[in-house]
Chain A
Amino acid sequence: MAAIDMKNIVKKYGDGFPAVNDVSIDVQDGEFMILVGPSGCGKSTLLRMIVGLEDITSGDMVIGDRKVNDLAPKDRNLAMVFQNYALYPHLTVYENIAFPLRLAKTDDKTVDEKVRAASKTLELDEHLDRKPANLSGGQRQRVAMGRAIVRDADAFLFDEPLSNLDAKLRGQMRSEIARLQKKLGITTVYVTHDQTEAMTLGDRVAVLKRGILQQLATPRELYDNPGNLFVAGFIGSPPMNFLPAKVEGTSVELPFGKVEISAEKAERAAGRGLLIAGIRPESFEDASVVDASRKGSTFRAKIDVVEWLGNTAYAYIPFEAPPEVLEQLQQLERDLDGETLRTQLVVSLDGSSRVAEGDDAEIWVDTSKMHLFDPATGENLTIDTANAGRVPALEQGHDPAQEMAAESRVADEQTAAAEGS
């Protein structure tokens, strides 16, 4: 059991492109840490540097109280579950799980005890004599975890372990992993591109974009106080809506009309000209089903499409955005591995709402949850820094504006940044 401390880690390849750039993350002993981001963000590279499969260009990697920069993987005492599980096809399930113990020359009795214990935990008892080729995806996944847990390793590392499973199994295995980690209380670093996994599994989540740490915080902090546009757009499903906004006094002008915000927020956003407002879909509601006592503003809009899911309904409302906002939103969409089709507002309505396609509906919005972003830097102007974990860009010595500009230059040059996964 050990803490993992990454200090100013940099990974540069031969062409000088930093796949990981000055990332510092402190994983506490026993903590479940998620590294998340779209492909090309450096999360897998970072994981492979922890385990020793990639060299570290600069910075310190400290596990427990040992600096491990130059140690071979075998000397780091870490266990890893690979994306494709990396089961040894010529060995039985039993021998696959026993493999690390055999390498450590453990005596047969201890091996047997540990393998049986692991297989019991993972419900693999009846499959011990089978070869990996004859197992289902979920079973293979469990064997890979078995190989990790027999080790008494200092930490577990997971590299997108669920990405090869179908949606249903993925949900089951997700809770399985969470339960196991709680039971063993072992330090865990988990790489994923799926924000749902990040939110549900992590004690804390590190959001990365193009090798740079964007924010390191608990899931709740990320959700309520995203450090910038990127984090705001990445965390949450359906994603946060971004609208052009102009602040005048305590009122904000949105494409659908004016809404009121608190004086404190208005002050922070004052004098900045055109901004981007971020409002999550669930901050909206069909005005006709909202309790009149709830605070908020209402506006009327024409509903384009409604998706009714039973417990909830998503309504889509198209809007026009000025070019400078549009450009920023399109860049954001690219950063998130998505494709911009059109600018539209997604609002989440109660399942009992009767709003239909083509209606001119009255929509209620809870403006206290609204954030305002600087369109040039993406910085969240209305962030509650006390509840936002760590946002490196806001720390001393960083100039967010300059950094963002440099970053988008890199982005243009490296449109197809390959990612180690």
Chain B
Amino acid sequence: MKKNNLGTGAGFVLILVWCLLPVAWIISLSFKSPEETAAGSPQFLPKDATLQNYRDILDNPDFLDALRNSFGIALIATFLSVVFATLAAYAIARLEFRGKRAVLSLALAIAMFPVVALVGPLFDMWRTFGLFNTWPGLIIPYMSFTLPLAIWTLAAFFREIPWELEQAAQVDGATSWQAFRKVIVPLAAPGVFTAAILTFFFAWNEFVLAISLTSTTGSRTVPAQLSYFVGPDPFNPPYGQLATASVVVTVPIIIIVLIFQRKIVAGLTSGAVKG
């Protein structure tokens, strides 16, 4: 018994180190001055911690534009995706209709779809429709690619709401719409929220489409913008700047994770096993 606890404790420490060391590393790097990194600074902690990088990055209009684009695009895509997914998931969990299996298969196929394969045709189409390098040009594909995830998560949540509750509401005198609004919506709210977080993570993280379908800071998101920070020499990038920008865009993720960790885990695994 004692040996087991020791092993678990050691495993616990190992997991923490594994997960947090790279994060600690970029945080430390973000406090190193440009002079220090230019001269080569292989030690973990900064010799002379400075906030210079933060001042620079928050003064960098390209980065601020990218942040704005990232937030705008991710939030709009998340909102729309969750709305559509809620409708579809409710139908899938609760109603009998022809083509249900086809919808589920389609969602499954899209979740596995290689995004890069779409870059060419989308690039071509978006230029034709004038969607290239615009917010909608990213929002539309982000919605499509997050829909399967959102539909599954939500369908799993809807399935957990006992069917009888809705019937009871109908017997109690509710119309279908009232039963949905007064019983299903309040109970599904945590699920909708979880789906929204996962969708937001996807949109916030997405890179392939972001570099392929944008050309200026007018719509370029943070991951794409970061890859353009590299500067003239790809083997000697501005370490401090990049690390600082990385820290800034990771902060929202950490905040979300801190507050909603339980929901995220539930959402991620909701489909994998019966809740």
Q: Using a CB–CB distance below 8 Å, which chain A residues touch chain B?
A: 51-53, 72-74, 76-80, 82-84, 86, 88-90, 99-100, 103-104, 147, 151
Contacts and interface: CB of A to CB of B under 8 A. Distances in A.
A281 B177 CA distance: 55
Interface in B172-202: 172-175, 178, 182-183, 186-187
Nearest to B167: A53
Contacts of A88: 165, 168-169, 183, 187
Contacts of A72: 170, 175
A82 B173 contact: no
B18 to A, nearest CB: 37
| Chain B: interface size category | 10 to 19
B167 A86 contact: yes
Interface in B54-76: none
B170 A73 contact: yes
Interface in B142-177: 162, 164-165, 167-175
A77 B171 CA distance: 8
Interface string B101-142: 000000000000000000000000000000000000000000
A144 to B, nearest CB: 8
A100 B172 CA distance: 5
Given A73-B167, A89-B187, A103 B172 contact: yes
Given A79-B172, A86-B168, A88-B169, 15 more contacts: A51-B171, A52-B171, A53-B170, A72-B170, A82-B168, A86-B162, A86-B164, A86-B167, A88-B165, A90-B187, A99-B182, A100-B172, A103-B182, A104-B173, A147-B168
A289 to B, nearest CB: 52
B94 to A, nearest CB: 13
Interface of B: 162, 164-165, 167-175, 178, 182-183, 186-187
Contacts of A90: 186-187
B187 A99 contact: no
Q: When A and B form their complex, which 10 residue pairs have the shortest distance between CB atoms, in order from nearest?
A: A86-B168, A100-B172, A86-B164, A73-B170, A103-B173, A90-B186, A80-B171, A74-B173, A82-B164, A73-B171
B116 to A, nearest CB: 44
A80 B172 CA distance: 8
12 contacts: A51-B171, A53-B171, A72-B175, A74-B175, A76-B171, A78-B171, A79-B171, A82-B168, A83-B164, A86-B162, A90-B186, A100-B172
A86 B162 CA distance: 7
B172 A147 contact: yes
Nearest to A104: B173
A99 B172 contact: yes
A100 B173 contact: yes
Contacts of A79: 171-172
Q: Is the interface of B mostly helix, strand, loop or mixed?
A: helix
Contacts of B183: 88
A86 B170 CA distance: 12
Contacts of A80: 168, 171
A83 B165 CA distance: 11
A90 B183 CA distance: 8
B272 to A, nearest CB: 24
A84 B170 contact: no
A76 B164 CA distance: 17
Given A88-B183, A90-B187, A103-B178, A74 B165 contact: no
A82 B166 CA distance: 11
B174 A74 contact: yes
Given A104-B173, A147-B172, A84 B164 contact: yes
A77 B173 CA distance: 7
Contacts of B175: 72, 74
B171 A84 contact: no
B98 to A, nearest CB: 13
A84 B175 CA distance: 22
Given A90-B186, A90-B187, A103-B178, A84 B172 contact: no
A173 to B, nearest CB: 19
A88 B164 CA distance: 10
A86 B165 contact: yes
A100 B171 CA distance: 9
A74 B164 contact: no
In this complex, the member of A52, A79, A88, A147 whose beta carbon has the largest number of chain B beta carbons within 10 angstroms is A88
Given A86-B162, A103-B178, A74 B171 contact: yes
A35 B187 CA distance: 33
Contacts of A99: 169, 172, 182
A100 B168 CA distance: 10
A74 B178 CA distance: 11
A73 B178 CA distance: 13
Nearest to A102: B182
A88 B165 CA distance: 7
Contacts of B165: 86, 88
Contacts of B187: 88-90
Contacts of A77: 173
A399 to B, nearest CB: 38
A331 B186 CA distance: 49
A156 B118 CA distance: 59
Contacts of B171: 51-53, 73-74, 76, 78-80
In this complex, the member of B167, B173, B174, B178 whose beta carbon has the largest number of chain A beta carbons within 10 angstroms is B173
Nearest to A48: B167
